Structure 1
Amino acid sequence: MNTALGSRGEQLSEEIKLPPFSLSKQLGIGKNFADTETLGGFYDWGQTWNKKLSQTSSNKTGLASLGIDLNTKINRLVNIVFDTGWQLRPAPDSGKKGAFCDFNIVVGL
């Protein structure tokens, strides 16, 4: 579990992206294939807390992660996102830091 719950919270997220490029142009794929790729890095930090103290949980919980992402847009209809990174702070009740990976495909008509 990599979740922190609370009635109050703060979040900070920072991304650094390299200039966009076209993989299809570099590979010489047809003129009708329009793509844009971006490669970047990110840092995410957040903390939650409860206004009222609970006997079953701590008052304040924080998470942080660092990683890289690749975003591909194809013909303005398909968006593919791949994120991978490392948890810098363990999630509540986990006690473990570790790698994570996220993959999404969105298709619009």
Structure 2
Amino acid sequence: MTRKAYTKDEVVLCSYIALYDGALLSEEKISGLEKRSKGSVKMKVQNIAAMLDDKGFSRNSKVSALAGLPAGASGRETDWDLVSEMINIGKSNHWAKCKEIIARAPKQYS
């Protein structure tokens, strides 16, 4: 079975949770955008957290990094280019992007 790649909007939202917090944004809310399971979105957030750890960036300590790799092995870097852009724009600009995405979402998912 082929997995559907995460959209740019989903990565921006997942990155916000991994970097900062999930109080204003939840995996459940993100899951509605492309009709993904909440578990899949949670794993994406955890994968982003693992990438941030691998690259030495601070992140949301309430998110567990995706586990399951042998000691010393690094995780996948899927969407790292976009995640690194979100790091560079800062928390307030990142949240502004998230609000734009949520505002564009179909009302039943926002």
TM beyond 0.5:
no
Higher CA-based Rg: 1
Q: Which has the higher contact order (CA 8 A, sep 6+)?
A: 2
Larger helix share, 1 or 2: 2
TM-score, normalised on structure 1? 0.21
